[in-house]
Amino acid sequence: MPTCKPPSKNDLLAILFGLVYTVSSAGETLAVKSLNYAPVPLELPSYTALLTNQLWIFMIPIYWSFKEKKSIYPYIGQYFGIGILTFVVSILRNISVNTLPGSVFSLLVSTSLVFNMILSGLFLKTKFNQWHICAAGCCICSASVLVAIAFLTDQGISMAGTNVSLGVPTAIGAAFFGAIMGVVQESIQPSWDNYNLRIVEITLVSGLITSVLVAIFASVTNEVYRWPTELTAATQSSYGLILVTCVSLALPVIKLLARNSKYSTINVSSAFFFEFVQAASTLVSALGSILVFGEPWTPGYALSIALMISAFGFYIMAKRVVSMPPPPTSPPPTAFERGIVNPIVVVSSWK
């Protein structure tokens, strides 16, 4: 008989860290989209990717504040691996968010939940019930509705800077590699001897590696040579100057909150739970893009958002409903005990 399981301390911490991630991740998407919708649109994926990964600078004084620093060498391979994955996710996310309406991008990225379910089952041996499967199905349907809107209609294609053929694959690619990174993160954290120290180290090292790789990518793609011209054009007005300055300063701080709340959520819960936190952030950023920037609203968008809300509800059910353990096994009853239960049997045996 299923029953409701009361939340534990780790459950409450996961919700708290999840709320921080939801707000900061949605804020990151809206901040980048604000540059796209400025009077002089600014669409520089490598520039915004580089800014968001400057969070490693904030980690330097925190790292040196630790009195006891154990050797980093046993974990350096982990940090490099996370750094490379972070680079891939950052580039794909920023290409997609700069080429799609923010509402479409946000909901497509939520498909990482499905990828995470597959990867967690394969590599972490995570067990899923029917509620998890229903949640994943809703995510697939939500993304399918958006893909159909993007490719089968002209919805959003007429918006300036929109490139569906580039934005949709990069959003799904970011979701896939993001799921890989979440599973890897969950698998390596149990090997850490000091969680607080190692979380600072991985944020610092992976952020530095990502920044170097993004700078190389910007140079190879020649985007870096567009920065002076386009940034100058975008900051000619007072409004443009304030907007670009504030967003440029805010992005690394926002990413710092998002990255560390992600690690903390996975630490006290799981990578799969984190994917539902990310689903919540996609709903917030999707609705924010529609309300703040006036992005197109259609019944298809409403259906996609409703499906994501349903997925979140199914996951809540999966977390709350647990199976009661089987009753303890007991030794077979003695003849006297059987007689107490059914005395006729005992009396009959006397004959």
If pLDDT is split at 50, 70 and 90, which confidence band does 116 have?
confident
Place of tokens 């893909």: 147
What is residue 150's predicted lDDT score, i.e. its pLDDT? 62
CA gap 190, 282 in Å, rounded:
29
The alpha helices in 221-237, defined as continuous H runs, are: 227-234
More confident residue, 236 or 346: 236
Structure tokens at 323: 């199976």
Place of tokens 């067990």: 127
Residue 77's contacts (CB-CB under 8 Å, 6 or more residues apart) are none
Residue 95 exposed, middle or buried by CB count within 10 Å (0-12, 13-18, 19+) = buried
If pLDDT is split at 50, 70 and 90, which confidence band does 275 have?
confident
Radius of gyration of the chain (CA): 25
Q: pTM value?
A: 0.81
More confident residue, 15 or 228: 228
3-state DSSP helix/strand/coil % of the chain, to nearest 5 = 80, 0, 20
The tens digit of pLDDT for each residue in 51-91 reads 999 999 999 999 999 888 888 899 999 999 999 999 999 99
What is residue 284's predicted lDDT score, i.e. its pLDDT? 86
Residue 13's contacts (CB-CB under 8 Å, 6 or more residues apart) are 264, 268
Q: Residue 322 is inside which H or E element, if any?
A: strand 321-322
What percentage of the chain exceeds 70 in pLDDT? 85
In the chain, what are the domain boundaries?
3-324
Residue 82's contacts (CB-CB under 8 Å, 6 or more residues apart) are 181, 184, 185, 202, 206
Q: What is the dihedral of CA 50, 247, 201, 19, to 10 degrees?
A: -130
Q: Which of 197, 194, 195, 260 is nearest to 65 (CA)?
A: 197
The tens digit of pLDDT for each residue in 142-161 reads 877 877 776 665 554 445 55
Backbone angles phi, psi at 321, to 5 degrees: -90, 120
CA gap 82, 50 in Å, rounded:
16
What percentage of the chain exceeds 90 in pLDDT? 43
Residue 40 has pLDDT above 70, yes or no: yes
DSSP state for residue 329 in the 8-state scheme: P
What is residue 3's predicted lDDT score, i.e. its pLDDT? 53
Structure tokens at 341: 């239960």
Does residue 100 contact residue 297 with C-beta atoms inside 8 Å? no
- Mean pLDDT over each residue of the chain, to the nearest integer: 83
Q: Taking the alpha carbons of 282, 110, 245, 20 in that order, is the dihedral positive or negative?
A: positive
If pLDDT is split at 50, 70 and 90, which confidence band does 113 have?
confident
Structure tokens at 204: 């610092």
